[in-house]
Structure 1
Amino acid sequence: MSDKAHSHDEHDAPHEGPVKTPKQLVLAVLFSFLVPIIGIILLVNFVVAGNKPAAGSEAFSEEAVAARLQPIGTVELRDASAPRVLRAGQEVYKAQCAVCHDAGVAGAPKFGDAGAWAPRVATGYEALLNSALKGKGAMGAQGGGEFSDLEIGRAVVYMTNNSGGSLPEPQAPAPEAAASK
Structure 2
Amino acid sequence: MSEAPHGAPIKTPGQLIAAIIASFAVPIVIIVLLVIYVDNSTRTGAGTDSLSDAEVSARIKPFAQVDIRDANAPRVYKTGEEVYKAVCSACHASGAAGAPKFTNTADWAPRIAQGFDTLLHTALTGKGAMPARGGTSPDDYSDFEIARAVAYMANNSGASFPEPAQPAAGAAAAASGAAAAAPAGASDAGAAQAAAAMAAMASVPQAAAPAAGGAQSADASQAGKALYQQVCQACHAAGVLNAPKFGDKDAWAPRLKDSMDTVYNYALHGKGAMPPKGGSTASDADVKAAVDYMVSAVK
Identify the TM-score tier after normalising by the shorter chain: 0.5 to 0.7
Question: What percentage of residue pairs aligned between the two structures are identical?
Answer: 52
> 1:61: Cα distance to partner?
2.9
1:61 maps to 50
In the alignment, residue 99 of structure 1 is paired with which amino acid? A
CA contact (8 A) 2:74 2:169 kept: no
Matched, 1:115 2:106: yes
Q: Which runs of 4+ in 1 moved over 2 A?
A: 56-75, 173-181
TM-score, length basis structure 1: 0.59
CA contact (8 A) 1:58 1:64 kept: no
Mark the runs of 5 or more structure 2 residues left unpaired by the alignment: 1-44, 171-201, 207-278, 280-299
In the alignment, residue 80 of structure 1 is paired with which amino acid? A
The structure having more radius of gyration, on CA atoms, is 1
* CA spacing shift, 1:103–1:74, aligned 2, 3 Å: farther
Matched, 1:101 2:92: yes
> Quick one: distance in 2 between partners of 1:135 and 1:86?
22
2:145 maps to 151
Equivalent residue for 1:136, pick from 107, 127, 130: 127
* CA spacing shift, 1:61–1:84, aligned 2, 3 Å: same
Q: Deviations over 1:109-152 (max 9, x none)?
A: 11000000111111111111111111111111115241110011
Q: Deviations over 1:11-61 (max 9, x none)?
A: xxxxxxxxxxxxxxxxxxxxxxxxxxxxxxxxxxxxxxxxxxxxx766983
> 1:75: Cα distance to partner?
2.2
* CA spacing shift, 1:130–1:70, aligned 2, 3 Å: farther
1:173 maps to 167
* CA spacing shift, 1:104–1:76, aligned 2, 3 Å: same
* CA spacing shift, 1:85–1:164, aligned 2, 3 Å: same
> Quick one: distance in 1 between partners of 2:47 and 2:157?
47
Mark the runs of 5 or more structure 1 residues left unpaired by the alignment: 1-55
Q: Deviations over 1:58-93 (max 9, x none)?
A: 698344565465444532121222111111111111
Q: Name which structure has the greater RCO, CA cutoff 8 Å, separation 6+.
A: 1
Number of residues of Structure 1 aligned to a counterpart in Structure 2: 127
> Quick one: distance in 1 between partners of 2:153 and 2:121?
15
Q: What SS is found at the alignment partner of 1:128?
A: helix
> Quick one: distance in 2 between partners of 1:91 and 1:80?
22
2:156 maps to 162
In the alignment, residue 84 of structure 1 is paired with which amino acid? R
CA contact (8 A) 1:118 1:164 kept: yes
2:82 maps to 91
